[in-house]
Amino acid sequence: MDRLWAPWRVEYLTQPPAPGCIFCAEGDDRDLLIIHRTPLARVMLNRYPYCNGHLLVSLHRHTAELGEFSGEELQELLRVAALCKDVLIRSSSPDGFNIGMNLGKAAGAGVLDHLHLHVVPRWNGDSNFMSVVAEARVLPEALLATYDRLLPFFPKTEGA
C-alpha cells in the first residue's frame, strides 16, 4: 500500500489556534505568508489551503461585519481579489476559480472575527478521491515554494 505523508497537517489537527488575529498579526511577511499589501488590504496564502495558490484577501480593519466597511474598503477588497486572480492566471494557469466568503461558523468560517475573501484557483480534475475518502488534500507544492513562486507576480507597493 502506498502512503501519502502530510506531516505539516498534524499542527492543524492538534494545536489550539494561536492567540490573536492572523489577519492583524505583524512581523516578517514571509513568516506570516503575507504576499502583498496595499494601504487598505493584504493578501496572504492560506496556511491550510484547499489547493496550491489558495489566497486570502483581508482588509486591515478588524471586523467580521460586511456592512461596517466603507465603499472604498469594499472596492479595494474586490480590486485586490481581481489582482489575485490575474496573478494566479499568469503564474499558475488555472482553469477556473472559486472566490467567496464564509460568514459565520455555520458557513465554514475558520476565522470568525475578521472578514476575508478566499481566492482559490481550480484545475479541471483537481477534485480527487482523497477529499472524499480520507478527508485529506494532496498538494503537489510546499507552501513556501508557492509563496516564492507567486511573489514576483504581485506589484511592489510603496508605503503599504
With CA atoms as reference, report the closest residue to 56 among 120, 106, 125, 151.
120
Residue 60 is among the residues annotated as catalytic for this protein: no
Q: One of 36, 54, 114, 116 is an active-site residue; which one?
A: 116
Catalytic annotation, residues: 116
